[in-house]
Amino acid sequence: MIVPFGTRLRAAMVERGPLCVGIDPHAHLLQAWGLPDDPSGLEKFTFTVIEALAGQVAMFKPQSAFFERFGSAGVAVLERAIPAARSAGALVLLDAKRGDIGSTMAGYASAYLSKDAPMACDALTVSPYLGFGSLQPAFDEARIAGAGVFVLALTSNPEAPALQSARTADGATVAGSVLDGLYKLNEGAEDLGSFGAVVGATIGSTDEDLDICGPLLAPGLGAQGATAESLAKIFGPALHNVVPNMSREILAQGPSVQALRDATAKANDTLGPVLGY
């Protein structure tokens, strides 16, 4: 029997705390770790993070771009890292922000969500800006595989409001229509649905209804300025479904495995009670 992603995510958050840690091998982080900015440095960085934290976090979020920049050698590291992290007990959300139409979207869905794919993940980030309905192949593949999908809704980049706050023909905002679509996809879930939204933890506040019955990925904690109090202000009644994402503040503690673990434990201890864990 296939266990839905939302069910597995909730269980991981209860067991390990709610934190999602990014695996973002920026060139400056590789340098700070004393590693070369090449595929060997990328591999050392990635597997050190997995070794250190796979037993402590609910989920990892590798940023695909930082692997793709090394071409096939970098993608090969990612292809090995995903199953390694999953085997060690952490869920893996690949941050690839794919978005297209028809057979191309189906191809992306198959590449990352099909359970037999070489880079099969627990969940994938996607972009809805070719229309929410264009993402249907990803939703369909996720249901078959018991995987999840996180859709960009309210991001914190300064360019975002021009698009996400624009009004559609029925008067709703673009972001609101995305959130409504996710609410409908999650109807019938026993606890946490498998179709989530990306809502930046640094947006300050929003009038949108975030009760989508699915997970709410909140990037921007730590080095980017958001705090536990920021989450309470933004998410309100939906706070228990928030998946807080922290990357730079934790990764900067490497290459010491113990320092990475200590920073992660501190973040979970701070965020867990606020989010109800």
Name the catalytic one among 44, 61, 97, 266.
97
Active site annotation includes 97: yes
d(CA 105, CA 187): 23
Give me the DSSP letters along 167-205: B-TTS-BHHHHHHHHHHHHHTT-SSS-SEEEEE-TTS--
- What pairs with residue 152 in β-bridges? 198
Q: Give the number of other Cβ atoms within 10 Å of residue 135's Cβ.
A: 27
- CA distance to 126, 163, 171, 183, per residue, from 167 (Å): 21, 9, 5, 19
Residue 164 belongs to what H/E stretch? helix 160-164
Q: Give the number of other Cβ atoms within 10 Å of residue 200's Cβ.
A: 23
Half-sphere exposure for 231 (CA within 13 Å, toward CB): 28
Give the residue numbers marked as catalytic.
97
